[in-house]
A and B are shown apart, each in its own frame.
Chain A
Amino acid sequence: MATATAPAEPTVPAEPTVPERNEHPLLLLTARRLGIGVITLFVVSVIVFWATEVLPGNAAYAVLGRNANPARLHALERQLHLNQGLLAQYWTWLSGLFTGKLGASLANGQPVWGLVEPRLINSAVLVFVTGLIGTVIGVTLGAIAALRKDGWFDHITSVAALTVTSLPEFIVAIGLIILFSTVVLHWLPAVSLLPPGTYAWSQPELLILPVATLVIVIVPYIFRMMRAAMIEALESDYVEMARLKGVPEWRIVLGHALPNSIAPTIQVIGLNFLYLAGGVVLVEYVFNYPGIGQGLVFAVDNRDIPVIQFIVVVLAAFYVCVNIGSDVVALLATPRRRIPR
């Protein structure tokens, strides 16, 4: 404080002692989350392994069913490594995950990776295209509804959001099919006739209905959160203060309200990506879309254990990554949490 002082008196009283804080909360958080993520994945892998290999008894017997005879059982057991100890089996599987030796599908003998890889890409396309479109629409609608709070736009969109979030996604899918492909209009194909193994972009019109379904399903959640966060920002003390400073409305929205609405909305966007990972199952099934959702359903139907295992682990890994990602981004958007005093 570079001001002259009367001799016996301090200028401004000493600042209250500040508790020591982490120097880099961002790094620390990321590291912790990564650690927990790895552990989670590990636990997931154990559970999956236990559930698929151990629980139903002898897997080979389950697969062969009535066709089991000692010779065939023995051969299948060797193929599935069932003749080794449990731990050894687990280790074989786990290391296989990392080295790419994923075994072969029990249904058709093909290597697992070859089966799953195109499906993975197809689903990824679905998830990311949906995520992008859904985020943009949801954020925009939510912001507008917040700005015109209690107006007709707000009422209509809020009611619509409430209605749509209640619907199961397969009903939304069926509804779209009825509307656009079979009963009312006949613009779009109801089911894709892509054989498994092809890539979705070879016939882009097949993407439209599945993406539309998923977008309709996730937009309301993003919309609601954005709206609530914006409203809270617009009604906050600092926005009132800005208004009393004479700041024009557009600047208040873009410079004050929006930056503060991002963090909670990011969390919801992340959650929606997670949701998509699961919701993709039903939608792919309805539209016969060759993604991992459909793959999982087929594998479950056929008790194709190696495929089941792999897909579930991939989904779990996706979950963990998205969780970490959204936490980190939210932290970046909240200076109060990432910069210590």
Chain B
Amino acid sequence: MAGDQQIGVDSAPGPAGDEVRLEVRGLEVRLGRTGPDVVSDVSFTVQAGQVLGLVGESGSGKTTVVLALLGHARRGLSISSGEVRVDGVDLLQLSAAQLRAVRGARVAYVPQDPAAALNPTLRVGTQLNEAIRVHPGAVEDPGGRIREVLQEAHLDASPELLRRYPHQLSGGQQQRVGLAMAFACRPALIVLDEPTTGLDVSTQRHVLDTIRSLCAAYGVAAVYVSHDLAVVGGLVSDVAVMYSGQIIEAGPTAKVFGDPLHPYTRGLLSAVPSPLQATRLTGIDGQPPRPGRRPAGCSFAPRCDYATEECRSQQPEPVLIDARAVRCLRVAQVRESSTSVAAALGRAATAADEVPILSLRDVAASHGRRPVLSGVDLDVPAESCVAVVGESGSGKTTLARCIVGLHRNWTGDIRFEGAPLTAGTRDRPRQVLRRVQYIFQNPYTSLNPRKTIGQIVAQPLEQYLRLGYRERSQRTARALADVSLGADFLSRYPDQLSGGERQRVAIARALVVEPDLLVCDEVTSALDVSVQAVIVELLRGLQSEHRIAMIFITHNLALVRSIAQSVVVLRDGAVVESGPVGQVLDRPADPYTARLMQDVAKLTGAGTPGPSAPDAAASEPAAP
């Protein structure tokens, strides 16, 4: 029944015509042959020249869907029912040999991690050639086509490049090779699995532009999977949001992101940080259900504010409303209640004359002989949050580690409350160590898997303060409560916790000794958007409540406004610009900052497409 409601019917026709190139009906993928379903009842269409965004958090099944578009299922999974029609041919009914002929030639895949997807022992040219030669007859002039396709992907089509091995290329170049391979046979459908993850912002922007122009030029249909709504928002004209293996809302991007109807989509959007305005981020409590553990009714019901008894017992079917298909029984009521506008954050008044709690002067650091930081000056006012922003290789993590004492190879002057800090932790007095706390990026390696949460959080109390048992227990319980974890977590082990919960434990561990400065090193980079929002908001609240100074390191410019009062921009180890957040981001003085602000993907407000949306592309000069 759900097959009747299809997505994309109402969008404006793409520049290459109206023909439907991809049609998916009732796709279902299961664990094993007969296990619980991982993806169920997925249907959509994509037209020539059009890019459909498939958005969701981890566990939503988006990668599974997109691999099924090539007739492929990962080990342990099987495609149990449905149709995937490319130019009318159902791939799921083809024989193995026919499917192999189709893959690469009619449907192509662009992988998420290009470094891993390229064979390390084969030259780049060989692998590009392979993409064409396994489909004899598809291309008349392989050599010429390769040159052509490399140029389209903005790579230097020289024999020198072709002779290289994958590890000799940068991340951006590897991704472009992946794109070139995908377009080599001029397929009808391209599937892109988060291809810009891990690339820095400007490279990401250029890759997205390339994808859009190639699709438009050759009338190729594309499905673009992403967890990053801002990136998707600027690229695609239609979007489908996935949750727990189903598409829960789908329609034109402007509508879905501008005026979301499904409670999950709303929650998701209010978790997305914006580089343009300071908003309070709100996450969604709880976690998505795992396959096999899905509730009987709507899978979002346990976390939904609008859920009723009916929602918990009955599976919602897609309902066509306002140009979108939404799977929600209560969609009419949800529509009535206005979208809560994200609360703007007031700026805390910073007393400018006070002595900064931390100040750096002319700090230079290196790894071995390679310089990583040079001439860094930085001030962190007491009780305020400074964001340190930079792309990979900018030296921001090294900076954090120098401050805290994990990295010893630095020169210059770092003063904590006026007193100079020594290079490593060994010579710093215990009280100084206690008052500067550090939170690591990866919640999966920062907790000792052989200890309980209680032991982990209480350990700094033993090490720094030598408190008695009763006091330790009290303070531990309080620290956990501060991060909204119940007392039942005390006896659990880290591998029983989710990523968000682990990071909260790490925060509790840092706060339990009542520090004066908290250094957060990319603490949300490994987390889903909705979890990230919870953590960022938690940190912001704790910082103002406990009056702690904070250094928040991130590569994500959009987060800055939601947590910091001032910002420092790093590039290649040097400070490029610094100042209050509003000033630096709204009126950047340095061209690098300006370019970062321009290139960062933005999710704009209701109705208005972002500056890099397809419609505006026609009026831009030819993509560089």
A interface residue numbers (CB < 8 A to B): 1-6, 9-13, 15-17, 19-20, 235-248, 251, 255-256, 259-260, 333-336, 339, 341
A11, A241, A251, A259: which has the most chain B beta carbons within 10 Å?
A241
Bound form: Cα–Cα A6–B135 in Å:
38
Determine whether the beta carbon of A241 is less than 8 Å from that of B624.
no
What are some 30 contacts across the A-B interface (CB < 8 A)? A2-B151, A3-B624, A4-B622, A6-B624, A9-B624, A11-B154, A11-B206, A12-B172, A12-B203, A12-B206, A13-B202, A15-B172, A17-B572, A20-B370, A235-B75, A237-B111, A238-B119, A240-B117, A243-B103, A244-B108, A245-B103, A245-B108, A246-B134, A247-B104, A247-B130, A248-B134, A251-B130, A256-B122, A333-B121, A339-B167
Determine whether the beta carbon of B119 is less than 8 Å from that of A246.
no
Bound form: Cα–Cα A259–B393 in Å:
32
Determine whether the beta carbon of B104 is less than 8 Å from that of A244.
yes
Within 8 Å of chain A (Cβ to Cβ): is B70?
yes
B113, B117, B165, B173: which has the most chain A beta carbons within 10 Å?
B117
> A12-B203, A241-B109, A245-B181 known; A336 and B120 CB under 8 Å?
yes
List the 8 closest A-B pairs by CB distance, nearest first. A246-B104, A237-B116, A246-B103, A245-B104, A241-B117, A238-B119, A13-B202, A244-B109
Determine whether the beta carbon of A246 is less than 8 Å from that of B72.
no
Chain A residue at smallest Cβ distance from B370: A19
Within 8 Å of chain A (Cβ to Cβ): is B452?
no
Report A-chain residues with C-beta under 8 Å of the C-beta of B392: 16
Determine whether the beta carbon of A1 is less than 8 Å from that of B154.
yes
Report A-chain residues with C-beta under 8 Å of the C-beta of B105: 246
Chain A residue at smallest Cβ distance from B391: A16
> A15-B170, A237-B111, A237-B113 known; A242 and B119 CB under 8 Å?
yes
Contact flags (1/0) for B374-395 with A, using CB distance below 8 Å?
Answer: 0000000000000000001100
Within 8 Å of chain A (Cβ to Cβ): is B48?
no
| Contact partner, B621, options A6, A238, A245, Cβ 8 Å | A6
- In the complex, how many angstroms separate the beta carbon of B123 from the nearest chain A beta carbon? 8
Bound form: Cα–Cα A255–B127 in Å:
10
Chain B residue at smallest Cβ distance from A5: B624
Report A-chain residues with C-beta under 8 Å of the C-beta of B200: 13
Q: Beyond A9-B624, A238-B120: 19 further Cβ-contacts under 8 Å?
A: A3-B154, A4-B624, A6-B621, A12-B624, A19-B370, A20-B370, A241-B118, A243-B103, A244-B72, A245-B104, A246-B100, A246-B102, A247-B100, A247-B134, A256-B122, A259-B122, A335-B121, A339-B167, A339-B168
Bound form: Cα–Cα A38–B143 in Å:
50
Within 8 Å of chain A (Cβ to Cβ): is B101?
yes
Within 8 Å of chain A (Cβ to Cβ): is B590?
no
Determine whether the beta carbon of B154 is less than 8 Å from that of A341.
no
Determine whether the beta carbon of B167 is less than 8 Å from that of A336.
yes
Determine whether the beta carbon of B130 is less than 8 Å from that of A242.
yes
Bound form: Cα–Cα A5–B156 in Å:
15
Bound form: Cα–Cα A15–B172 in Å:
8
- In the complex, how many angstroms separate the beta carbon of B240 from the nearest chain A beta carbon? 21
B interface secondary structure, majority: loop
Determine whether the beta carbon of B168 is less than 8 Å from that of A241.
no
Chain B residue at smallest Cβ distance from A244: B109
B interface residue numbers (CB < 8 A to A): 67, 70, 72, 75, 100-105, 108-109, 111, 113, 116-122, 130-131, 134-135, 151, 154, 156, 165, 167-168, 170, 172-173, 181, 200, 202-203, 206, 370, 392-393, 572, 621-622, 624
> A16-B392, A243-B103 known; A255 and B134 CB under 8 Å?
no
Bound form: Cα–Cα A17–B395 in Å:
12
Report B-chain residues with C-beta under 8 Å of the C-beta of A245: 103-104, 108-109, 130-131, 134, 181
- In the complex, how many angstroms separate the beta carbon of B516 from the nearest chain A beta carbon? 35
Chain A residue at smallest Cβ distance from B123: A335
A-B contact count (CB 8 A): 115
- In the complex, how many angstroms separate the beta carbon of A6 from the nearest chain B beta carbon? 5
Bound form: Cα–Cα A216–B592 in Å:
66
Report B-chain residues with C-beta under 8 Å of the C-beta of A16: 170, 392-393
Report B-chain residues with C-beta under 8 Å of the C-beta of A247: 100, 104, 130, 134
Chain B residue at smallest Cβ distance from A263: B121
Report A-chain residues with C-beta under 8 Å of the C-beta of B109: 241, 244-245
Chain A residue at smallest Cβ distance from B116: A237
Bound form: Cα–Cα A324–B130 in Å:
35
Chain A residue at smallest Cβ distance from B621: A6
Report B-chain residues with C-beta under 8 Å of the C-beta of A238: 116-120
Determine whether the beta carbon of A244 is less than 8 Å from that of B103.
yes
Chain A residue at smallest Cβ distance from B106: A246
- In the complex, how many angstroms separate the beta carbon of B479 from the nearest chain A beta carbon? 39
| Contact partner, B156, options A1, A235, A246, Cβ 8 Å | A1
Report A-chain residues with C-beta under 8 Å of the C-beta of B113: 237
Bound form: Cα–Cα A235–B135 in Å:
23
Report A-chain residues with C-beta under 8 Å of the C-beta of B624: 3-6, 9-12
Report A-chain residues with C-beta under 8 Å of the C-beta of B165: 335-336, 339
Chain B residue at smallest Cβ distance from A2: B156
Bound form: Cα–Cα A17–B392 in Å:
11
Bound form: Cα–Cα A237–B488 in Å:
40
> A4-B622, A241-B117, A259-B121 known; A13 and B154 CB under 8 Å?
no
A3, A12, A15, A239: which has the most chain B beta carbons within 10 Å?
A12
B70, B75, B119, B202: which has the most chain A beta carbons within 10 Å?
B119
- In the complex, how many angstroms separate the beta carbon of B114 from the nearest chain A beta carbon? 9
Report B-chain residues with C-beta under 8 Å of the C-beta of A248: 100, 134
Bound form: Cα–Cα A122–B624 in Å:
70
Chain B residue at smallest Cβ distance from A336: B167
| Contact partner, A335, options B72, B102, B167, B572, Cβ 8 Å | B167
> A237-B111, A244-B103 known; A251 and B121 CB under 8 Å?
no
| Contact partner, A241, options B111, B134, B203, Cβ 8 Å | B111
Report B-chain residues with C-beta under 8 Å of the C-beta of A6: 621, 624
Bound form: Cα–Cα A336–B393 in Å:
21
Bound form: Cα–Cα A235–B76 in Å:
12
Report B-chain residues with C-beta under 8 Å of the C-beta of A333: 121
Determine whether the beta carbon of B116 is less than 8 Å from that of A236.
yes
Bound form: Cα–Cα A300–B596 in Å:
76
> A4-B622, A6-B621, A19-B370 known; A237 and B75 CB under 8 Å?
no
